[in-house]
Amino acid sequence: MVINTLKSKRKRNTSKTMLKNQFTASKRELYKKYKNSESNFRMLFKLVIKNRMPQFIKKLEISNLSDDLKQKSILALRNLSSFLDTVSAIRINLNKKKNKEYFFYSLNLACNQCRRSAGAS
C-alpha cells in the first residue's frame, strides 16, 4: 500500500513537472513570436509608414478630390500616424506584472486617443 502511494505521488509529481515544462516552453515560444512580430512592426512603421505618410498627405493636398474629402482623408492619415506612433513607442517586459499593467494602460490610452480623434472628424 505504501509502495503504491509512493508510486502515485511520484507519477503525479512527474506529470506536474512535465505539464509545467510544457507550459513554460509554450509561453517561451509565444513570447519569441511576440518579440519577433514586435520588431517587424517597428521596422515596418519606421521604414514604410512614418517616412511615407507625409508624402501621401502631400499627394492628397494636390489631388483633384473635393476639399471635404481631402480634409477627412488627411485627418484620418494623421490620426493613424499618431496612433501608430503611440503604439510603436510602447515597450513591454513580460517578466514584471507592473509592466504588463502599464502596457495595457498605454494601449488603452492609444485606442482612446484614436477614438477621440475619429469622433472629432
Q: Give the domain extent around 108.
A: 2-120
Q: Could you tell me the end-to-end alpha-carbon distance of the chain, in angstroms, rounded to an integer? A: 76
Q: What is the DSSP letter of 50?
A: I
Q: What is the pLDDT of residue 1?
A: 53
- The Cα-based distances of 28 to 13, 18, 23, 72, 99 in angstroms read 22, 15, 8, 43, 17
pLDDT at 116: 72
How many separate domains does the chain show?
1
Supply the pTM of this predicted model. 0.47
Number of helices (H), then strands (E), in the chain: 4, 0
d(CA 50, CA 75): 15
> Which residues of the chain fall short of a pLDDT of 50?
2, 121
